[in-house]
Structure 1
Amino acid sequence: MSFTRRIMVAAEPELTASLAEQFSAFGRFALRAGALPAPGDDGIDALLLDESPRGRDALAKARRRGLRSFVLLIAQEAKPPPAGVNAVVARPFRFADLVELLDSAPRPAPGANIGPYRFEARELRGPAGARVKLTEKEAAILSRLAEAEGGAVSRESLLRDVWGYGPGVSTRTLETHICRLRRKLEPAPDSPRWLITEGPAYRLAGLQDDLAS
């Protein structure tokens, strides 16, 4: 599967502007502006920084906050990654090398609000923080739906990505797992509000989506 990489750049203005232009032209990358995400926020996949004051400040904040995202340092010369940094690229560098490093970065496990529940790191937590037990396949289904960020995921895609089934396979295993998940999530499983069927597809709805409907 191919996903958009969400990145943030904390570097001196000229380098930041140059990278923003190249990433915009390249596509497949979404730049996030503003402050660093809060602890536990999976709002970015990678943080790019340099050795300018702005980059050093971003690295210090990332260390304090325990940022889980991939951190790439653009340095004046080759060096081992310092604490809190995953990889270093030395100037001058090719943009293609930067893209290759970012593509190799592990993507944080997707998270999602599901009604009053929070699904993160393949764990489901209730409104009071209590852990709801999930089987491996149930967690995989929620992970795949969370990746869609509220969009619908087809039955065929779920069978392919969770079980490895090819098109045209006749099975009710997905529907069985969806029913079990609804019994864990929904106040009334026969009238689902948060794990929703849309034609031959499924999607997750957060509490705000439910209140607005």
Structure 2
Amino acid sequence: MNKEIKIALVEDDENLRFLVGERLQSEGYKVLESNNGEEAEKMILDEQPDIVLLDWMLPGKQGSEVCASLRAKGFDKLVIMTTAKAQDVDKIGAYNFGVSDYITKPFNMDVLVAMIESKIKFSLSSSEKTESHKFGNMEHQPNTHLLIKDGRKIELTILENRILLYFLKNKNKVINREELMMEVWGYNADVNTRTLDMHIVRLRKKIENNPDSPTYLQTVRGIGYKFVY
């Protein structure tokens, strides 16, 4: 893995910023730090880091505003939002300001590092500047949550984005519900299979020509799902 990877760490809690910064540097990443929104935005546009770790609550300019502004100015790299509580994830809600993913505080450093490493493996190892996956008449761009279908842009929520990406990386493989829930919601998630199935239904509406008789995202009775293309 190319360790000259730049991570912008935007966090106004000095202790947390110090701890995360130290850990990321010990893993070999180059870390740029900022504690407020305006300064962070300028730094990110100037430095073009590979990954941005962006706190949701910032003085001056909220994380969501910073992210929306970066996207509007053409920044298309990974932006991971750090939120104080799981409920805020619903506020990332409309997900329409372009966050790639999120992690809730307090987070375990090992989990954060593992998340960053898996993101890097998938997004920076592809030869293209921006990761994308094509299937049927569609193209999925996970960093910006876009699904392009017949030339039209369809926005995915963060969870739909995670689900689709996992399927695309495991095509033609039967994925059981537990594995999918662990992948999408993580270890400490209090989530049931009905919630998962609801997200699958929504995702099918976006990708299938006939959601009731899906071509791609197929149900495997009693086990889970399989993505075929």
Q: Which TM-score band (shorter chain)? A: 0.3 to 0.5
Greater C-alpha radius of gyration: 1
User: Structure 1 or 2: larger helix share?
Assistant: 2
Taking structure 2 as the reference length, the TM-score comes to 0.40
